Amino acid sequence: MKPILRNRILLCVAWCATVLTPNALVGQDLPAPGPEHEALKRLEGEWIATVRMGDQETPGTMTLKMECGGLWLVSDFRSEFGGQKFQGRGMDGYDPVKKKYVSVWVDSMSTRPILFEGDFDKQKKTMTMTGEGPGPDGKPAKYRNTTHTPDDNHQTFIMYVTGTDGKETKMMTIEYVRKK
């Protein structure tokens, strides 16, 4: 084996042993879900969606499930836009260091994720997240999402995008009703 290849393999093994060692083995406690994660857990289940973009209305579905030890709410959204099947996946959690909710979104219309962070207003029952990712034209864009959850069976999601002109525009509204 050539020395350069052997050194790369040894470096890779050393990195894996250092970085991938479970926290419990190095004297740290594993993270545990907190009250913010419990709030996300309330959303678990199957949801019927009505997507409104401009004057178009499209049905969809969303399944939400807590995974990774109760730290992440994983979403699977499915619909159809312009006659094309659409799938989106999200992971929502809470970062206790930042004291912010965090989220990543990927879907079948983009090869790049959108990263979000934000806060939940308990009185308004509304999560507001901001983030950056590819815009409708493929160029970097800023996003703001609000999700109002008036009760355990309804949600209203609104997505806004800020264009290169600095103007915020509503892209879509999705009304969710929990499937019974």
8-65 per-position pLDDT tens digit: 655 555 555 555 555 545 567 888 999 999 999 999 999 999 999 989 999 999 999 9
57-77 per-position pLDDT tens digit: 999 999 999 999 999 999 999
* Averaged pLDDT for residues 99-112: 93
Residue 14 pLDDT: 54
CATH class, 35-178 region: mainly beta
Q: What is the pTM of this model?
A: 0.82
Domain range annotation of the chain: 1-30, 35-178
Residue 110 pLDDT: 86
Q: How far is CA 151 from CA 28, 71, 178, in A?
A: 37, 22, 10
Neighbour-count burial of 150, counting CB atoms closer than 10 A to its CB (0-12 exposed, 13-18 middle, 19+ buried): exposed
